[in-house]
Structure 1
Amino acid sequence: MALSSRIGVYCSPIRHTYDSTAEEKMIGEANKGQSPLTNDTTCGVGCFKGKLLQRFANKKAYVFLYGLLGCVLSAAYSYFNGTITTLEKRFRIPTKTTGVITVGNDISTLFVSMVLSYYAGKGHRPRWIAVGVYTIVLFCIMNALPHFLYGPGEDALGLTEEYGRLDNKTDLDRHNRQTLCQKEESAVKCDTGDAGNIAPQLILFMAQLISGIGGSLYFTLGVSYMDDNIKRSKTPALVSFSYFIRMLGPAFGYALASLCLKFYISPSLTPKIDNQDPRWLGAWWVGWLLLAAIMFVSASLLGLFPKTLPRAAIRKAQERAFKGKDADEAHELPASFQDMIITFKRLVTNPTLMCNNFASIFYFMGYMPYWIFMPKYIETMYKQSASSASLITGTVGLVFSACGILISGLVITKFRPKARSLALWNVIVGAISVLGLISYAFLGCYTADPQGVTRGVGDSTSIQQCSADCYCDYVKYTPVCAHGESFISPCHAGCRNVQILNNGSKLFTDCSCVKNMTDAGDPLPQVASPGPCPVDCATKFYMFLSVVCLLKFSGATGRASNFLVSVRCVDEEDKPVAMGFGLMVMSLFAFIPSPIFFGYIIDTTCLVWGKTCSGTGNCWLYNGETLRYILNFTSASLVTIGTLFDMGVWFYVKDLKIFDDDEEEMTVVKDNEIKI
């Protein structure tokens, strides 16, 4: 997988009165082919309610705009995931801390989703969604704020032509002492930089907290508004179309991250390294400004939709006229705390809903590391640059996901399968996911951790004998390559001197840890060149991408069926609260613990930690083989448990009604059973 400050609180009781005269007029106008307009069915706000605007008060316009807004929201979350590695390097953040930052979104969702969905669900839902998205606009602005407060950082500036020039021999000697093997410990000082400064981390965490409020309003109110204003027979196709548009979001977000990371963190400066160098820091902050602007405009447009779409209002008026006043008022109770508790009890005692929620919990727990840390995984396992990893994560599998969700929506709309058939397909999708995750464990670049690194240092305290007297503890990660072996830095390679060649490049010499002869006994120079040794693992990488595409397709085919089961297994008036309840339990048991748990797992496989005066910074290099096994087998185990709960859903949905005409068929079946 992986999805704010509150602007106003809606908590006043809502009382619905049954006006038979108004509804008779509405039905009469509908029969004459006219579209009745009331305050609840008028598109616009204030004096901005022209006739031209009313043409867009229909389900197609809403589904498109809601999907488009979801696309931008997904792009924002994906953009954050695509720039995580750069943020960790820039502010020296361990992965487990990054995991804590990402769950800020889910912490706020946990506390507000159910309450907000209950009260806001009885109000003007499109406007509540718009208010929620405005908080995500603030989230985007706050994410870019650390760059404007703290700049690109001394390390990044030191790698530019403007700030990194060594104009005299004194500067050159001082620079060499920071990277080469030294005989005196005092020659190398610890790195202060931004070490110990938690302010950027707090800003990022607060931004995530704020976004959780807006995200919960969007996801809980948006789908319930859609389902309430669309005929049940049309729901699968339109929901699938909405999901399809939203699915473009991660591709856009990761592509934007890839584009921004190709530019140096300070675009006006000239870097001395390229974006393939692990020390490269891209312009991670630029994309947030663009996303904030797009999101603000989209949210403003969505807020113009009416409380109820005109055609849906006609349909509901006809239903009320048929059922009578008492049936209508029974479903439209005023909002109250007591009623909310009663609603909550109904949801908790619903076995289908609970099994479906627990299946989602374990599914999300298993897939969370791939949604959040996939760029890091690709960088680590297949030695791709941060820019390439973000682009690949967002674009690969997009076509397969899109085909999966569109095909499933059309199939469900055309053939109208029973609830048990939909639930059975979710079980099959879960089984495919488990097999795919297990296959990840056996797909990896086995030469991803070069011999020189694993032999050189497992962590800051593991020292080779050849560089034991070099005092390399505080030397920055500056990889060098010597005869196919990579080393953490010239110091760890035992290099004591450096030469500046005619083309301006460096060559480190007198490297005691570099082998001095071939296997055949021929002499080799003990020199090293800047940068890690190139690694070729294209075949394994393409195999990995093939499995990713398969899982994307199969997973997408289960989205529409999962949604239909979740909204049909509860009473109509409980749908917004059920969506909020689902978000709450998934935040509590999946979205919050999973990133922290997997962040800790990833950190346990670290080989090279950045060392600072205040302790440990970010990880520069991971043990690829260990990471591959522990991450993928753990994820597969969690998804397996989720599949077992999907079997529980299959057991309980025997008599669940999915489409409008199912009720008549169910009645006939029961009558026949009685006769038999």
Structure 2
Amino acid sequence: TGCEKEPSSYMWIYILLGNMLRGIGETPITPLGISYLDDFAKEEDVPVYVACLHTIAMLGPMFGFLLGSLCAKLYVDIGFVDLGSITITPQDSRWVGAWWLGFLIGGVTSFLAAIPFCFLPKSLKKPEEDNDKTSYGLLENMRKKLTPAQSKPRKCQLIYPFLSDFYTSLKKVLSNRMYFTFLCCSLLQFNSFIGFLTYKPKYMEQQYGQSTSKSNFLIGLTTLPPVGIGIFLGGLIMKKYKMGIIGATKFAFIMSFLAYVTTLLHFFVGCENHVVAGMTVSYE
């Protein structure tokens, strides 16, 4: 029909590749950062440092929502058209904000933030005491426990030694029942959290008549800061009471259970649905 048009732009490919490269660059920060803290910090200080790391990580989405709120108020073709000739407002359903501006600002900021990493030393000094507790020491101990038949260097190990280390570490991690259970719990929690952030802006727009920019602003200001504060307080509590693995597990279970019970209150709070033909009422 005349209303159907074939896509004439392939700019989405550049966005896809850009996000892929961004993900590749950001992925090592969390695992390598936590491993570094665990290896070079005092055992009682690690929970606080890790909590600070995750708290700072939560500030990024918060500023992202605030930046998205600002960009949504700007017209998509800002800088290329006369804004005085635009007759629609951000409250109009036909309005398209400057979505591309956030990618540009975020890319430049990430590039500037990556420059200090170029001045880090090539190799770091390993702690001399309690070396067996570091990630490197644990890997060396696992190698020593291998039988002579298993410890013979293979051709693939000589060519790709990191594959052997990766397989050994992965097998050790996945065979830990507590860690595997924690991994499954984290997967379920993040699934619900991502769904919450994905649909909440649209819910606020439809249910409360808010614009896209204001919805992003409210979410960034009210949702993410409490999460960051909670992570930081959890690290302080673990340091104060010097919790071990079992204590931290019990603490996480109690907090998760209380959060789940509190979340159930959402079923009793809400507004009446708007009348939408075909969804809330029939066409007749």
Using the size of structure 2 for normalisation, the TM-score is 0.78
- Write the distance in 1 (CA, Å) between the matches of 2:122 and 2:265: 48
Return closer, same or farther for 1:435/1:225 CA change in 2, 3 Å cut-off.
Answer: same
Equivalent residue, structure 2, for 1:345: 171
User: Is residue 204–residue 210 contact of structure 2 (8 Å, CA) maintained in 1?
Assistant: yes
Check the 8 A contact 2:59/2:225 in 1, yes or no. no
Q: Deviations over 1:131-168 (max 9, x none)?
A: xxxxxxxxxxxxxxxxxxxxxxxxxxxxxxxxxxxxxx
Answer 1 or 2: which has greater strand percent.
1
| 1:442–1:208 CA distance, 2 compared to 1 (3 A) | farther
> Paired residue for 2:217, among 364, 367, 391?
391
Which structure's CA Rg is the greater one? Answer: 1
Contact 1:229 1:308 survives alignment (8 Å): no
3-state SS of paired residue (2:27): helix
The corresponding residue for 1:293 is 108
Q: How does 1:495-514 map to 2 (within 5 A)?
A: none
The aligned residue for residue 48 of structure 2 is 237
In the alignment, which of 181, 185, 190 is matched to residue 359 of structure 1? 185
Considering fraction of residues, name the structure with more helix: 2
Q: Which residue of 1 aligns with 2:95?
A: 280
Aligned equivalents of 2:239, 2:3: Cα separation in 1: 61
Gaps spanning 5+ residues in structure 2: where? 144-156
Which SS does the other structure have where 1:285 is aligned?
A: helix
Amino acid at match of 1:298: A
Please, which of 184, 191, 205 is the counterpart of residue 3 of structure 2? 191
Partner of 2:22: 211
The structure-2 alpha-carbon separation of the partners of 1:224 and 1:330, relative to structure 1 and needing over 3 Å to count, comes to: closer
Aligned match for 1:404, one of 215, 230, 242: 230
1:248 to 59, 68, 77: 59
Distance 1:382 1:291 in 2: 30
- 1:530 match: none
Look up the SS of the partner of 1:355 in the other structure. helix
Aligned pair count reads: 260
**Map of 1:604 onto structure 2:** none
Q: 1:302 to 1:374 in 2, by over 3 A?
A: farther
User: Corresponding residue for 2:208?
Assistant: 382
Q: Does the Cα contact within 8 Å between 1:258 and 1:390 map onto a contact in 2? A: yes
Superposition RMSD in Å = 3.1
- Write the deviation string for residues 447-474 of structure 1: whole angstroms up to 9, x where unpaired: 4x23xx42xx559xx866xxxxxxxxxx
Instruction: Please list every run of 5 or more consecutive structure 1 residues that lacks an aligned counterpart in the other structure.
Output: 1-188, 465-676
The aligned counterpart of 1:486 is none
SS at match of 1:388: helix
DSSP 3-state at the match of 2:77: coil
Alpha-carbon spacing, 1:328–1:235, altered in 2? closer, same or farther (3 Å) = closer
From 75, 83, 90, give the equivalent of 1:269.
83
Structure 2 distance, partners of 1:379, 1:422, is: 39
In structure 1, what is the Cα distance between the partners aligned to 2:124 and 2:268?
A: 52
CA contact (8 A) 1:381 1:444 kept: no
Q: Distance in 1 between matches of 2:244 and 2:138?
A: 28
Could you say what secondary structure the match of 1:233 adopts?
coil
Distance 1:257 1:416 in 2: 40
User: Given residue 100 of structure 2, which amino acid in structure 1 is its aligned partner?
Assistant: W
Q: Partner letter of residue 389 of structure 1?
A: S
SS at the partner of 2:83?
Answer: coil
Match of 1:304 in 2: 119
1:453-505 Cα shifts (integer Å, max 9, x gaps): 42xx559xx866xxxxxxxxxxxxxxxxxxxxxxxxxxxxxxxxxxxxxxxxx
Q: Larger RCO: Structure 1 or Structure 2 (Cα < 8 Å, ≥ 6 residues apart)?
A: 2
Cα separation, 2, equivalents of 1:328 and 1:367? 34
Report the Cα distance in structure 2 between the residues aligned to 1:442 and 1:308, rounded to whole angstroms.
56
Q: Under a length normalisation based on structure 1, what TM-score does the superposition of the two structures give?
A: 0.35
* CA positional deviation for 1:284: 1.1
Q: Distance in 1 between matches of 2:162 and 2:20?
A: 27
